[in-house]
Amino acid sequence: MKMKQKQNRNRKWRYVLSAVFGAVFCLTTLHPAYASERQVYDAAGILSEDEIDEITKVADEVEDKTGWDLIILTVNDASVTSDRDYAEEQFNECTESDDGIAYLLNMDSRSFYIATAGEAYEYVGDSQIDEMLDDAVTYAGEGDYTQAMIAMLEDTESYYTSNTAKNMTIYDEDQGIYYASSTNHRFLSYGEIAIAAVLGVAACLIFCLVITGKYRLKFGRYHYNAREHAQINLRRNEDHFVRQFVTRRKIPKDPPKNGGGGGGTSTIHQGAGGRSFGGGGRSF
């Protein structure tokens, strides 16, 4: 009987140890897949390890600066029929933040696409994307794909640092409406509100004192003698209609403002996963 109980205890310990080792194995094998902060997904196989490291280093620096998730994608697959859809879907799958950018290089169609999400499209609008694509296409035309990616990352940091969002207007092309960037608002602090309230009350008191002194008002005893001070002057006046002239002039509309590197318009749409994306692309 005692031998049987001892065997049962040994069997339980074996189960416990097996469970512990299994948990440790899962943590050591699966944790890197979830905890990795990977930025470069070179499905096209056009980048060397050193080039990936170089791009990753720049992406890390820009991520630290902006707080966004940035991913660099390369693909060489004829089944990718829409650069925009592919970039947006990969952003949703490979990132956790609502704010960020996916930079796509499609070698099959020889094209770039930049997908912006969340706060990123408030800093990187239509004109900024055009400038980034100018830089990327220039390097890609020379076969320097690494520098093309780095140039777009550095441009992103430049726009964030110069705070292009302060002059950015968002255009929702699905709804056909414009609205100001969410970063284009300044809220008063409690101290500023208190100072404004004190100044307002002081101005009101000064105004009341000046009026009271000017008219020598004595509250509760002052009465205005209308018979003594009032007078009425009546005049007869007649207007005769002669003729009517109508002049029409076309007023030209001002062209839409485009801010270039200092703001402008950011066109967004409802993209993959129901998320709002901005973006744009170009062939080379």
Least confident of 79-83, 151-155, 202-206: 202-206
Tell me which fold the domain 37-185+260-283 belongs to: Diaminopimelate Epimerase; Chain A, domain 1 (3.10.310)
Between the CA of residue 226 and those of 218, 223, 233, 234, what are the distances in Å?
A: 18, 9, 15, 18
pLDDT for res 219: 55
Place of tokens 């905890």: 35
d(C-alpha 106, C-alpha 55), whole Å: 17
d(C-alpha 163, C-alpha 132), whole Å: 16
The mean pLDDT value for 3-8 works out to 52
pLDDT for res 100: 97
Which pair of structure tokens corresponds to residue 108?
């099959």
Say whether pTM exceeds 0.85: no
**Would you list the domain boundaries of the chain?**
37-185+260-283
d(C-alpha 138, C-alpha 282), whole Å: 12
> Which residues lie closer than 8 Å to 80 by C-beta, 6 or more apart?
86, 106, 108, 109
Q: Tens digits of per-residue pLDDT, 230-253? A: 777 777 777 777 776 666 554 444
For residues 68 and 153, is the Cβ–Cβ distance under 8 A? no
d(C-alpha 148, C-alpha 104), whole Å: 11
The mean pLDDT value for 10-35 works out to 45
pLDDT for res 228: 73
Cα 224–Cα 229–Cα 231 angle in degrees, nearest 5: 130
For residues 114 and 102, is the Cβ–Cβ distance under 8 A? yes
